[in-house]
Amino acid sequence: MRKKCPLRGHKIALLMKDTMKKSLLIVESPTKARTLNRYLGKEFIVKASKGHVKDLPENKLGVDIEHDFRPEYRIIRGKEKIVRELREAAKKAETVYLGPDPDREGEAIAWHVAEEISRNGDRKPENVYRVLFYELTHSGIEQALKNPGHLNRSLYEAQQARRILDRLVGYMISPLLWQKIKRGLSAGRVQSVALRLICEREREIHRFEPREYWTVEATFKKKGESALINAKLQKVNGKKTNLNSREDANKVIEAVKKAKRFIVSSIERKRQRKNPPAPFITSTLQQDASRKLRFSPKKTMTLAQQLYEGVSLPDEGMVGLITYMRTDSTRLSEESIKAARKFISQKWGQDFLPSKPRQFKVKAAAQDAHEAIRPTDVFRTPEAVKPHLTPDQFALYELIWKRFVACQMKQASIARTGIDIIPIDAEITTVFRATGSVVEFPGFMILYEEAGDENGEPDSAVIPSVKEEEILTMISIEGKQHFTQPPPRFTEASLIKELEQNGVGRPSTYATILSTIQDRKYVVLEDRTLRPTELGFVVNDVLTKHFPEIINVSFTADMERKLDEVERGNYSFVVLLHEFYRHFKPMLEAAQKNMENFRTSGVPSGICCPECSTELTIRWGQNGDPFLACPNCRFTSNYKRNEKGEIELLQPQEVNETCPKCGKPMIVKHGRFGPFLACSGYPDCKTTKPLGLGIPCPAPDCSGEIVERRSRRGKVFYGCSRYPNCSVVFNQKPVSQSCPQCGYPIMLMKKTKSRGEQLVCANKECKYSMPLRES
């Protein structure tokens, strides 16, 4: 039950007119605070917590398992000053409004802020309100402040349960991985399931055996016309085509060639109506942005957050352009639908407007408190705001705007035609089919097509007008060889779809999951597909062996369903944690005793050392790259896996350099510190050198070359090969490119959060820099 607020019913500009003290509004983001400040004016003090202010401790579990998993929250290091400022501001305010994002994480921020500002009786709980901003517009802000409510305990407990579950898995399994495989690894309740899906798909690809098959295609035309009809063989002797070799295809081709004439045996015409897609939810936005814009989920969510929190527009100031972007509901407000229909009518006319507004079915498990992701004002078109957005912000806003408008437009009408062509007097009976389609009325497709449809319909050819029993002439016929294809690797978009369909994780967590498994080097992105690394395979195999139930799709999905029930107030989060730990504890104890120690023994490779026949093991260098090493002799080698996943040794790479001691060729080898040069005469000659970058040392009168080096702690740096006679050193990777400003012969690659990848001049006295893509 909501508590009556003294501000209810007043316009924003008059909310504080009759009160002695100002009200305090606390949100989590400085950008969001600036946007709200513009609307609220001097009557409100708006402060930002800058994210979470409290969390579990970094250096210990922070969960009291014996006392119903009681969490030990602490103020995050570096946030003490912010918390003090919020307390002081709350003391001076008549009323406090907590306005972090309207989701589980936002509720946790609001709860922890409320605890801190109410500590020692500084603030009465009855004067603390929770406000939910679904859009940062005048009407959205006014609506939120007119209808404040209490903190939502169920929502907070759902977030607590998820945080504690993740802490139990991460804090208890990750140290095992450090001990047994490699330092710096991590496990996660959901991220490990995502890794398992990727690894299992890769092994499916390794096991796949391609099968040869053939298709037969023929070209026909009507008498006296030049237009061609392309058709594919569908049936042979009444059965579906099944040609497994060139010989099978040639038999059919030769028999068809003997036919004296061909006729149209049947014509099938259908009219298909294609409905517009639903407005975006978090997962579909990430998928479409990945396919259409090639944005990573993390980038998509960062840009969406910027559009939600507000951008500066002329004569308007900071304006939120989209509604809240973490949602799994396709619900739309009546006001937004009316606005969209008005826009469609004005822009394209009544022909493109359906007779009734479109409503989209909301999934049973969806959190329907939020709307779908949509523009806050449909009349604020992408072109109108383009000058005030970055190119990436514009691309995402345009995608969201078009999807929303399209969802309220008429269906597309597509006419599909299929004709069957048969030979007369042939040795065998065959049926060739030609298909085509024509868009009779584009409807919503005039504005928006779903990702994957950009190349048009697969059978979009226009078929010349023909009649049944009409005689055709065959112009050509040929067989084409094909091979069955393995299942495709996951893309970021298809993995999100897979996780969502299986109920694993929440749409709001997918971007973080995908970033984490790539940051940990469990997975790499190659040609926009996700491929597990050697490290990813080993971590996955260890986890699935020792924690089969925890790293399980159905078990994780069941946990997510129970978290949703906790959020609805239908399930105890303490019961959920006990249920989980009852499964988890025995597996953890067994793993601590029985997990293989690959860190000391290496991972068996299944191939023998070419020098002593001992089985080689896979190890990881300090740069993270895997290599093969013999536990019996000093043989090491780089390697690759073939299409079947089998390990193949790579031959040592020779360089145009001879050993300074014995004169034999130098070769590139790989060790725990990465690649280096070694004498090919090993073990008789043990000369080694750092691997050069091919960049001459810039020091005057120095004949050295810049080489990659490592400090005692494994940190990479770059210096002159003539060290200690030459002390030139760089912390960033050098590039052989002259500075356009001062002419210094070397530029450095530098990556920053705010400016991305940059090339900066290596001359310390020159401050020149430029984006890497412009180099």
**Residue among 706, 663, 671, 670 at smallest CA distance from 687:** 663
| The token pair that represents 133 in the structure block | 């901003």
pLDDT at 161 > cutoff 90: yes
Residue 511 to residue 107: CA distance in whole angstroms: 20
Q: Please report the pLDDT score of residue 183 as a whole number.
A: 86
Which string of DSSP letters, residue by residue, matches 423-442? EES-SS-EEEEEEEEEEEE-
Contact 476/218 with Cβ under 8 angstroms?
yes
- One-letter amino acid at 199 equals C
Q: Of the ranges 412-416, 645-649, 654-658, 769-773, which one carries the lowest mean pLDDT score?
A: 769-773
Identity (one letter) of the amino acid at 164? I
Q: Considering only residues 89 and 708, tell me which one the structure prediction assigns the higher pLDDT.
A: 89
Q: How far is Cα 237 from Cα 260, in angstroms, rounded to an integer?
A: 18
Query: Residue 600's CB: how many other CB atoms inside 10 A?
Result: 9
User: What pLDDT shows up at residue 65?
Assistant: 94
Burial 687-721 (b: 16+ CB within 10 A, else e): bebbbbbebbbbeeeeebebbbbbeeeeeeebbbb
Q: What confidence score (pLDDT) does residue 513 get?
A: 93
User: Is the pLDDT score of 653 beyond 90?
Assistant: no
- Kindly state the helix (H) or strand (E) to which residue 565 belongs, with its residue range: helix 553-567
Q: Secondary structure of the chain: what % helix, strand, coil (to 5)?
A: 35, 25, 40
**What are the angstrom distances between the C-alpha of 369 and each of 102, 333, 508, 569, 571?**
9, 11, 15, 15, 19
How distant, in Å, are the alpha carbons of 524, 649, 660 from that of 686? 35, 22, 11
Q: What is the pLDDT of residues 338-361, one digit of tens each?
A: 999 999 999 999 999 999 999 888
Residues facing 658 on adjacent strands: 665
Cβ neighbors of 51 (< 8 A, separation 6 or more) are: 28, 29, 109
Instruction: Find, among 568, 510, 515, 474, the residue nearest to 186 by Cα.
Output: 515
Average pLDDT of the segment spanning 17-28: 75
Distance, in Å, from the CA atom of 315 to the CA atom of 318, rounded to the nearest integer, reads 10
**Strand, helix or coil at 109?**
helix
Closest Cα to residue 131, out of 94, 87, 100?
Answer: 100
Residues with Cβ within 8 Å of 382's Cβ and at least 6 positions away in sequence, in order, are 394, 397, 398, 401, 402
pLDDT value of residue 7 = 41
Query: Side-chain half-sphere of 139: how many Cα atoms within 13 Å?
Result: 6
**Is a pLDDT exceeding 50 seen at residue 52?**
yes
- Residue, of 98 and 707, whose pLDDT is higher: 98
384-396 confidence digits (pLDDT tens)? 999 999 999 999 9
DSSP type of residue 149: B
What's the pLDDT band for 212 if we cut at 50, 70, 90?
very high
Query: Where does the pLDDT of residue 754 fall: very low under 50, low under 70, confident under 90, or very high at 90 and above?
Result: low
**Cα distances (angstroms) measured from residue 399 to each of 388, 392, 403, 406, 450:** 17, 11, 6, 11, 10
Residue 519 main-chain phi, psi, to 5 deg: -65, -35
Dist CA 522 CA 196 (whole Å) = 10
pLDDT tens digits for 510-565? Answer: 999 999 999 899 999 998 999 999 999 999 999 999 999 889 999 999 999 999 99
433-483 residue pLDDT tens: 999 988 899 999 999 987 654 334 445 567 888 899 999 999 999 999 999
Instruction: Give pTM, 2 decimals.
Output: 0.81
Place of tokens 């090493």: 629
With a cut of 70, say whether residue 735 has pLDDT above it.
yes
What pLDDT, on a 0 to 100 scale, did the predictor assign at position 701? Answer: 86
Range from 119-133, 239-253, 536-550 carrying the lowest mean pLDDT: 119-133
SS3 readout for 518-540 = HHCCCEEEECCEEEECHHHHHHH
Q: List Cβ neighbours of 487 (8 Å cut-off, separation of 6 or more).
A: 201, 204, 205, 208
Q: How confident is the model at residue 425 (pLDDT cuts 50, 70, 90)?
A: confident
Q: What angle do the packed helices 553-567 and 573-594 form, to 10 degrees? A: 150
Q: What is the pLDDT of residues 54-98, one digit of tens each?
A: 999 988 999 999 999 999 999 999 999 999 999 999 888 888 999
* Of the candidates 138, 139, 137, 148, the residue with the CA atom closest to the CA atom of residue 26: 148
Give residue 759's pLDDT: 87
pLDDT of residue 775: 44
| C-alpha span between 636 and 609 (Å, rounded) | 9
Yes or no: say if 27 and 46 are a contact pair by the CB < 8 Å rule.
Answer: yes
25, 40 contact by CB (below 8 A): yes
Which has the closest alpha carbon to 167: 150, 188, 152? 188
**Nearby residues of 624 by Cβ (< 8 Å), 6 or more positions away:** 521, 535
Residue 524: alpha-carbon gap to chain centroid: 12
Amino acid 356 reads K
CB 474 within 8 A of CB 262: yes
pLDDT band of residue 683 (cuts 50, 70, 90) is confident
| Model pLDDT, residue 774 | 45
Task: Please name the residue that has the structure tokens 């001049």.
Answer: 761
- Specify the range with the lowest mean pLDDT, choosing from 300-304, 601-605, 679-683: 679-683
| pLDDT above 80 (res 13) | no
Question: Considering only CA atoms, which of 595, 651, 596, 597 is closest in space to residue 628?
Answer: 651
- Compute the distance between CA of residue 14 and CA of residue 21 in angstroms, rounded to an integer: 14
Number of neighbouring beta carbons within 10 Å of residue 361: 9
Length of the chain: 775
Q: What is the pLDDT of residues 455-465, one digit of tens each?
A: 344 455 678 88
Residues 286 and 511: beta-carbon distance below 8 Å = yes
Q: What is the pLDDT of residue 674?
A: 63
Q: Which two tokens stand for residue 735?
A: 């590039």
Residue percentage of the chain with pLDDT more than 90: 57
Specify whether the CB–CB gap between 757 and 771 falls below 8 A. Answer: yes
Mean pLDDT of 233-251: 94
Question: Cis (ω within 30 of 0) for the bond into 675?
Answer: no
Among 36-40, 173-177, 533-537, 712-716, the range scoring the smallest mean pLDDT is 712-716
**How would residue 16 be classed by pLDDT, with cut points 50, 70 and 90?**
very low
Q: Cβ(295)–Cβ(396) under 8 Å?
A: yes
Question: Is the peptide bond prior to 724 cis by the omega test (within 30 degrees of 0)?
Answer: yes
Distance, in Å, from the CA atom of 523 to the CA atom of 510, rounded to the nearest integer, reads 15
Look-up of token digits 């007043």: 10
Count of C-beta atoms within a 10 Å radius of residue 34? 17
| Residue 300, pLDDT above cutoff 70 | yes
Measured CA to CA, the distance from residue 304 to residue 321 in angstroms comes to: 9
* pLDDT recorded at residue 455: 38
Residue 684's pLDDT is 79
Q: Tell me the three state secondary structure of residue 153.
A: helix
Cα(576)–Cα(572) distance, integer angstroms: 6
* Cβ atoms of residues 430 and 231 within 8 Å: no
What is the set of active-site residues?
324
The single-letter code of the amino acid at 516 is T
The residue type found at 478 is E
Bridge partners of 261, per DSSP, are 424
Residue 615 corresponds to which amino acid? E
Q: How far apart are CA 336 and CA 343, in angstroms?
A: 11
Question: Is residue 773 pLDDT above 80, yes or no?
Answer: no
How far apart, in whole angstroms, are the C-alpha atoms of residue 450 and residue 276?
A: 9
